[in-house]
Amino acid sequence: MRFWIIRDERQIPVELEERPEGYTAVLDGVTYEVGCARILDGLYSLLMEGESYEVAVHSHEPGSYDVHMYDGVRHVDLLSPLDLVLRSQHGGPGARGGSVRAPMPGKVVKVLVEEGQSVLKGQGLVVVEAMKMQNELQATADAVVQHVRVREGDSVESGAELVTFGGAQEGE
């Protein structure tokens, strides 16, 4: 299967071949053997190059994922070649409003923005503690915060909408 990973506006080609114990992944021209076991819905144990990782994956819309690893959260889009062409014709994630959602159940530790505030891509919005780790959820595009739907101390369920935002000010 051929896909494109979109991360930080970078397009990375990826080819995946499923194996009984995981995947062979060719990522940006480099081949990796990845062992993969599903622990729970959205929680996986990966074995790659002799290192073990626990990874939580949450999708709030088709092809769009928040990947939580030991060192933080990464937002990625996984697109087929056709989806990549269609997206380029209709604008990327900065071309429309969106939201940041809780990747898993947790507790809001800190709210870093307020309604009406302009944010830059990569800027922290909310810090959520889940699985004894604090994760700073970040803006995926330059935008204006429309609604902050949580307060510090709130418990949130997986997929709960935390912050909604509009398009970048330049395009408004």
Q: Are 75 and 141 in contact (CB under 8 A)?
A: no
The pTM score is 0.52
Q: What is the H or E stretch that residue 81 is in?
A: helix 81-90
**CATH 2.40.50.100 intervals, the chain:** 97-171
**How many C-beta atoms surround the C-beta of residue 114 within 10 A?**
8
Per-residue pLDDT of the chain (172 residues; tens, 9 = 90+): 888 888 876 788 899 999 988 899 998 889 999 999 999 989 999 999 899 999 999 887 778 888 998 888 888 888 877 676 556 544 444 434 577 888 778 899 999 999 999 988 778 899 988 777 788 888 877 888 999 999 999 999 877 889 987 754 444 4
Q: Which class does domain 2-83 fall in?
A: alpha beta
Q: Which class does domain 97-171 fall in?
A: mainly beta
Q: Are 80 and 93 in contact (CB under 8 A)?
A: no
**CATH 3.30.700.30 intervals, the chain:** 2-83
CA 22 vs CA 58, 59, 100, 111: distances in Å: 19, 20, 30, 38
3-state secondary structure of 143: strand
